[in-house]
Every structure is written in C-alpha cells, then in structure tokens.
Structure 1
Amino acid sequence: MPSSPEDLADRMAARRRQVNADDGFAREIFTQPRDQAPETARAFLDRWPAAAYMSAVESWRELSGGEIEIVAH
C-alpha cells in the first residue's frame, strides 16, 4: 500500500513505462522546473515532428518539489 500520493504516482509511472517498454517507441523522460518544462517539450516535438515520427507527450505530472516530469515518445 502506498504511503503517499507521490508514492502511488511513482509506482503507476514505473508500471506504465514497463508495460509500454516494448511497443516500439523510444521514450525520453524530462524532469525540469515548471517554467522550463513547456519549452523542453516543444523542443522535443520540434526535433521529432509527429507527421514523420508519431511523436507525442505521453504523460506529465507535477512532482512534490514543484518540478514537472514529462514522458515523450
């Protein structure tokens, strides 16, 4: 049983990455301060355009310290 909502979120994120690990997508995980996270996500999507690579932000969440974790493929 998770001891906090953050523990539950961490377990769910780890499980999601394991389940999707063999689906053929290369994933990148970014953890950054809130003000930098959108710029990083945009740079990733610009570098790997969806039309050619099916790129997307798969998930994002706010961590306890105020940072944002982004999972992109």
Structure 2
Amino acid sequence: MVAETRRPADVAKRSARGLKGARSWRRETFVLARPEARAKALEWFDLYPKAAYMTEIEAWRELADGRIEFTIRRLPSAD
C-alpha cells in the first residue's frame, strides 16, 4: 500500500479534482475613468444582486493616469 502524500501540491490537486463541476467565481477586470468605473460597478450590482450572486468588488486600484482598475466577481447563478 502506498502512503497518501501530504505535500501542499498534492492536497491542492486533490482539492481541485473534488471541485470540478462545483460553482466557481466569474471574474471580470475593467480599467475605466472614475465616473465610468462607478457606472460599470453599479450596472453589475443591478444585473447581479449581491444577495443572489454574491457580487463584490474583489480588488481595485487607482492607476497613475487617474483611471481605476477593478475586478468584480460573482457566482454564475443564484441558488
């Protein structure tokens, strides 16, 4: 009998196999001027309400030229 390995990479591989077909986050990244970035975020929250899709701004930052880069994530469908 071969002992089951416990290296982090092996654990990650087993976990990934177990998650196949499971829900995964949908992410989209935008780079827009501040007013357009705000409008795009509001549009996403209107289309994919937080209560049903767990929509959230995952990360954001202001670039040197003043534009906003942000990533929105959501679940693919409601429960």
After TM superposition, the score normalised by the length of structure 2 is 0.59
- Identify the structure with the greater helix proportion: 1
Q: Which residue of 2 aligns with 1:49?
A: 49
Partner Cα distance (2:35, 2:48) in 1: 22
After TM superposition, the score normalised by the length of structure 1 is 0.64
Q: Which residue of 2 aligns with 1:66?
A: 66
Give per-residue Cα distances to partners, 1:26-57, cap 9 Å, x unaligned: 00111101121111111011111111111111
5+ long unaligned stretches in structure 1: 1-22
5+ long unaligned stretches in structure 2: 1-22, 74-79
> What is the Cα-based RMSD across aligned positions, in Å?
1.4
Q: Where in structure 2 are the equivalents of 1:9-28 lying within 5 Å?
A: 24-28=24-28
Percent identical among aligned pairs is 39
Q: Which residue of 2 aligns with 1:31?
A: 31
Using the TM superposition, give the Cα deviation of residue 24 of structure 1 relative to its aligned residue in structure 2, in angstroms: 1.4
SS at match of 2:29: strand
Letter in 1 for 2:53: Y
Higher-Rg member (1/2) = 2
Stretches of 4+ aligned residues off by more than 3 angstroms: none
Partner Cα distance (1:51, 1:45) in 2: 10
